[in-house]
Amino acid sequence: MTTATQTAAGSANSGSLLLTLMKLRTFIALFAVIIFFSIFAPNFLSTANMILMSKHATQNAFLAIGMTFVIITGGIDLSVGSIVGLCGMIAGGLIIYGIDLPIGYTVYFNILEVAVIVAVVGVLIGAVNGLLITRLNVAPFIATLGTLYVARGAALLYSDGQTLPNLVGREDLGNQGFSYFGSGTIIGLPVSVWMLVIVALGAAYFARFVPLGRHIFAVGGNERAARMSGIRVSRVKMFVYMFSGFCAALVGLIVSSELMASHPATGTNLELNAIAAAVLGGTSMSGGRGTIGGTIVGAFVIGILSDGLVMMGVSSFWQMVIKGLVIIIAVVVDQAQRKMQARVTLMQMAKQG
């Protein structure tokens, strides 16, 4: 993960070894789970398993990237899981039924057009979140909780709760090949992983080298100061929710492509995984802090942890307990690091005079 070097670069200034270790905690956790499972879980290190796990982790990672930006602005997006479900249903519906035009024709789209339409739907739902939050001043938690229910309900209404099966498309309509997003490979790696690489690199670049990306941190750090500095705060917030919706739409596309079926309950509770991954990666819930690299490592830690425990045959009840403990420990270490960091800064100040 080239994007994760950001986290490491900051530590060059501090002399403290312990502090450096703490800063790298997400990496250490990642290596720890990999080493642990390669010893205790059979076949853990096989290529097939690695690819399978990265596919699983990819879904969380996409959502977590969008979530990271939202959390950095000081908000939260609870609706991503439902957007995954709704977007999956729309993808399935477009392939099976197309769109009925009032003049008696039905339009079908090829899979690339389907992907674009689904992405646009995700962005639009994100825009609704953004508008509720910026124009109508609804608290992010409530606004996205509302869209969580609306989007889930819409997904269920779309097919009356039924699964849309067998999304192979028809040759005469030219909409075959939907399985590409979920099952296709490029140079041995799944297409979805390549998509993640592109989105992650793009997001990391964006956070560092694009003014709007820098503004995201400023808005989360101190909204009033950001506004006084001429930053259009509403625009920044609109962007992060729209981007989060976009990421969720991609996941909806990938999941239904992988299963070749759309189920309206897809993505339930995924928003919690995304929040967990972001927090594990060092994103501060109070806003202003976080890195894309850290979030992706966090998403992989959670993904590997759950897959590895399954392979070891640990019961799913214990899996939940372990996952919860890992998140709590991560946050506790994060707080300890903050405190130490503050002390190191004090020492540097003292030396400065």
Partner 1 sequence: MTEIDDGDVILELKDITKAYSGIVALKKANLKLRRGAVNVLVGENGAGKSTMMRIIAGVEQPTIGEIWMEGERIHLSSPADAVRHGIGIVFQELNLFGNMTVAENIFATREITRGVLGIDHKAQVEKANAFLDRLESGISAETLTEDLPIGQQQLVEIARAVSLNTRILIMDEPTSALSAAEVDVLFRVIAELKAQGVAIVYISHRLEELMRIGDYITVLKDGQITGHALVKDIDTRWIVRSMIGSDAKDFAKEVDHELGGEVIRLDNITLPRSQGGYAVDHVSLSVRKGEILGIYGLMGAGRSELFECIMGRHEHDTGKVFIDGQELLERDTTGRIERGIALIPEDRQREGLVQCLSIAENLSLASLGQFLRFGFHIITGKEKQAVADAIRSLSIKARNPDFEVTSMSGGNQQKVVIGKALMTGPKVLLMDEPSRGIDVGAKADVFRTMRRLASEGLAILFSTSDLEEVMALSDRIAVMSNGRLVMVIDRNQATEEAIVKASAEGHTTKRMHA
Closest Cα to residue 273, out of 242, 238, 306?
306
Residue placing its CB nearer to partner 1 in the complex, 269 or 352? 352
Contact call for residue 346 and partner 1 (CB under 8 A): yes
Contact call for residue 20 and partner 1 (CB under 8 A): no
Chosen residue from 38, 106, 335, 348 binding partner 1 by CB under 8 A: 348
Contact call for residue 222 and partner 1 (CB under 8 A): yes
Contact call for residue 93 and partner 1 (CB under 8 A): no
Between CA 321 and CA 314 the distance in angstroms is: 11
Are 297 and 27 in contact by the 8 Å Cβ rule? The answer is: yes
Count of beta carbons in the 10 Å neighbourhood of residue 189: 14
Residues 239-298 that bind partner 1 (CB under 8 A): 284, 288-289
Count of beta carbons in the 10 Å neighbourhood of residue 349: 9
Span from 52-60, 106-114, 119-127, 340-348 in contact with partner 1 (CB under 8 A): 340-348
Between CA 52 and CA 54 the distance in angstroms is: 6
Span from 108-116, 149-157, 203-211, 239-247 in contact with partner 1 (CB under 8 A): 203-211
Handedness of CA 153, 158, 163, 167 (dihedral sign): negative
Residues 154-183 that bind partner 1 (CB under 8 A): none
Chosen residue from 160, 224, 313, 316 binding partner 1 by CB under 8 A: 224
In the complex, what is the shortest distance from the CB of residue 240 to partner 1, in angstroms, rounded to a whole number?
16
Are 77 and 241 in contact by the 8 Å Cβ rule? The answer is: yes
Chosen residue from 102, 188, 211, 313 binding partner 1 by CB under 8 A: 211
# chain residues binding partner 1, by CB under 8 A: 33
Contact call for residue 350 and partner 1 (CB under 8 A): yes
On the 0-12 / 13-18 / 19+ scale of CB atoms within 10 A, 135 is exposed
Span from 120-128, 152-160, 212-220, 240-248 in contact with partner 1 (CB under 8 A): 212-220
Span from 62-70, 191-199, 205-213, 325-333 in contact with partner 1 (CB under 8 A): 205-213
In the complex, what is the shortest distance from the CB of residue 92 to partner 1, in angstroms, rounded to a whole number?
35
Residue 48 identity (one-letter amino acid): A
In the complex, what is the shortest distance from the CB of residue 112 to partner 1, in angstroms, rounded to a whole number?
25
- Beta bridge partners, 262, equal 164
Are 318 and 51 in contact by the 8 Å Cβ rule? The answer is: no
In the complex, what is the shortest distance from the CB of residue 222 to partner 1, in angstroms, rounded to a whole number?
4
Contact call for residue 217 and partner 1 (CB under 8 A): yes
Count of beta carbons in the 10 Å neighbourhood of residue 27: 18
Q: In the numeric block, which tokens belong to residue 86?
A: 């709704």
In the complex, what is the shortest distance from the CB of residue 70 to partner 1, in angstroms, rounded to a whole number?
17
Contact call for residue 136 and partner 1 (CB under 8 A): no
Residue placing its CB nearer to partner 1 in the complex, 169 or 288? 288
Residue placing its CB nearer to partner 1 in the complex, 170 or 343? 343
Contact call for residue 18 and partner 1 (CB under 8 A): no
In the complex, what is the shortest distance from the CB of residue 285 to partner 1, in angstroms, rounded to a whole number?
13
Residue placing its CB nearer to partner 1 in the complex, 156 or 233? 233
Report phi then psi at 139, rounded to 5. -65, 140
Residue placing its CB nearer to partner 1 in the complex, 55 or 215? 215
Residues in contact with partner 1 by CB under 8 A are 13, 208-211, 214-215, 217-218, 220-222, 224-232, 284, 288-289, 343, 345-352
